[in-house]
Amino acid sequence: MQAWEQTMSAGALLGIAGGAVALLLFMVIVLRIHAFLTLISVSLVTAFVTGIPADQIVPTLVSSFSGTLGAVALLVGLGAMLGKLVEHSGGAKVLADCLIEMFGERRAPIALGVASLIMGFPMFFDAGLIVMLPIVFAVARRLGGSILLYAIPTAAAFSVMHVFAPPHPGPVTASELYNANLGLLLLVSLLIAPLMWWVSGYMWGKFAAKHNVVTLSEVVFGETKDEFFQNPPKVKTVVAILLLPLFLIFLNTGLDFFRSLGMVDDTQSWFHIASALGNTPVALLISVFVALIVLGKSKGEDSSALEKIMDSSLGPICSVVLITGAGGMFGGVLRASGIGDALSNSLSDLGLPVIVAAYLVAVILRLAQGSATVALVTAAGLMAPAVLGADYSALQVVAVTLATASGSVFAGHVNDSGFWLVGRLLGMDVKTTLKTWTVQQAIESLIGFILALAIFFIF
């Protein structure tokens, strides 16, 4: 492939970037075209307009799409399978019941939040919320008071994990685009997630429940009595399965850390084997097989039933995976066209730090089109050249990734499917949902950005 250099001015390239984003938002919001088709179409138009040679356009689109999808699809697919096994076996309910018993009725919101944080590692936001809501409703019926006291901490916990922690598609894709250390991103996100949840979930949930009395309705979520699971797993079994991938991934990160200190020899075979086992896709694969045996086979599930359970977990995540890959395609075109370099130079001229710019770009995209994943992936694609071209430490790159993720969750409103999911399931009208859930998302975003800034400038 012949070498090609961009000859357009920075102003022209930035104008094209603004037009591309505006076209993307117009197609998604006004024309209601699916985000997958929109991202591909805008990527193609942008490639032509920026002057990328015609014979290089399709290879650029395909390579950037497959490069993103190769890493993301494995993690998201395996994470969905693990979450489905935990849900189907009754492990989710067993864990939540145990935590409520441990914390006591007065601390039921904390117990529900802790259970949701744990389950939010492998489970998507909507799936985890639906799994937990029958338990939330049972607690609310027994203890009384506004449903928001129990539901906001639960929903916020899943939101925090979905937006900030791998293996969820948004942070995984952003880490690929920024070339962030995935193990380090996972470690930092798990360290700051409880603090973000405490402020935006637990504290805000108490305030929202005090000022918005939303009573439990039997028709909101159908039958709300506890579901009966035959031979459910023990709590320690569920916890061990959920912690297994974390242990393996941390093993990989720890080996890299000790290697950088010269404490281990990276030429030895055992080092490469251990590193491979701790690679995120391999760690999740091992965890899924362990869950199949422990939560499936040992509980009497036959192979045919387990196959159907695994298959049912993949359908809902196909759209997310494809949209994520298309977002990576859009970012690849922006990088190939030189738009990212022009944006980086312009931000440098304005004196706006890259981490602040990444947050603001993600906020604008989030408010305009609703999807946190699209906002995160698109913003990361725009800012990737600036991040890759800077002399940042591994921890600073992680901080930029977290800042971008923080912007992508800001103030979800009526153009966000999660807004309607939370509002409708809890029986809230639009006004109440705006006053409670939209504000929660804004608080989560601001707390995450503040923590990302602290990590970036201190470390």
- The answer to whether residue 148 sits within a structural domain is yes
pLDDT at 229: 57
Query: Which of 5-9, 168-172, 354-358, 400-404 reaches the highest mean pLDDT?
Result: 400-404
Mean pLDDT of 75-90: 80
User: Mean pLDDT throughout 56-71?
Assistant: 86
Fill in the DSSP letter of residue 351: T
Inside any domain, residue 418: yes
- Which pLDDT tens digit goes with each residue over 326-372? 877 887 887 788 776 666 566 555 567 889 989 988 888 787 666 78
3 in a structural domain: no
**Percentages of the chain per state (helix, strand, coil), in multiples of 5:** 80, 0, 20
Q: How far apart are CA 328 and CA 323, in angstroms?
A: 9
Q: What pLDDT sits at residue 233?
A: 84
Lowest-confidence region among 184-198, 313-327, 379-393: 313-327
Exposed e or buried b per residue across 335-362, where buried means at least 16 C-beta atoms within 10 angstroms of its C-beta: bbbbbbbbbbbbbeeeeebbbbbbbbbb
Q: Grade residue 218 by pLDDT with cuts at 50, 70 and 90.
A: very low
Instruction: Identify the helix (H) or strand (E) that includes residue 101.
Output: helix 91-103
Reported residue count of the chain is 459
Q: Domain count of the chain? A: 1
- The Cα 407–Cα 324 span in angstroms is 17
- Is a pLDDT exceeding 60 seen at residue 124? yes
From the number of C-beta atoms within 10 Å of its C-beta (0-12, 13-18, 19+), residue 401 rates as: buried
Q: What is the pLDDT of residue 15?
A: 84
What pLDDT does 403 receive?
Answer: 96
Sign of CA dihedral 188, 190, 193, 198: negative
Res. 10: pLDDT tops 80: no
For residue 222, pLDDT beyond 60: no
Render pLDDT for 409-423 as a digit per residue (tens, 0 to 9).
998 876 676 777 788
Res. 43: pLDDT tops 80: yes
Higher pLDDT among residues 151 and 325, named by residue: 151
Is residue 2 included in any domain, yes or no?
A: no
Of residues 455, 459, 452, the one with CA closest to residue 403: 452
Q: Which two tokens stand for residue 435?
A: 């006053």
Q: What is the pLDDT of residue 340?
A: 63
In a domain, 353, yes or no: yes
User: What phi-psi label fits residue 145: left (phi over 0), alpha (psi between -120 and 50 degrees) or beta?
Assistant: left
Q: Are 48 and 319 in contact (CB under 8 A)?
A: no
Q: Please, which pLDDT band fits residue 219 given cuts at 50, 70 and 90?
A: very low
**Domain, as residue range, for 255:** 10-458
Q: Check pLDDT > 50 for residue 192.
A: yes
In a domain, 395, yes or no: yes
Mean per-residue pLDDT over the chain, rounded: 82
**DSSP at 292:** I
**pLDDT at position 169:** 77
Q: Tell me whether residue 302 is in a domain.
A: yes
What is the spatial distance between Cα 151 and Cα 209, in angstroms, rounded to a whole number?
Answer: 10
Confidence of residue 136 (pLDDT cuts 50, 70, 90): confident
Predicted structure pTM score: 0.69
Place of tokens 């117009």: 26
For range 266-292, the mean pLDDT: 85
**Residue 4: inside a domain:** no
Would you place residue 396 in the very low, low, confident or very high pLDDT band (cuts 50, 70, 90)? very high
Nearest to 150 by CA among 161, 163, 167, 137: 137
Distance of CA 178 to CAs 38, 171, 324, 396, Å? 23, 10, 15, 11
Secondary structure of 222-274 in the HEC alphabet?
A: CCCCCCCCCCCCCHHHHHHHHHHHHHHHHHHHHHHHHHHCCCCCCCCHHHHHH
- 224 pLDDT tier (thresholds 50, 70, 90): very low
Whole-angstrom distance, CA of residue 252 vs CA of residue 281 = 12
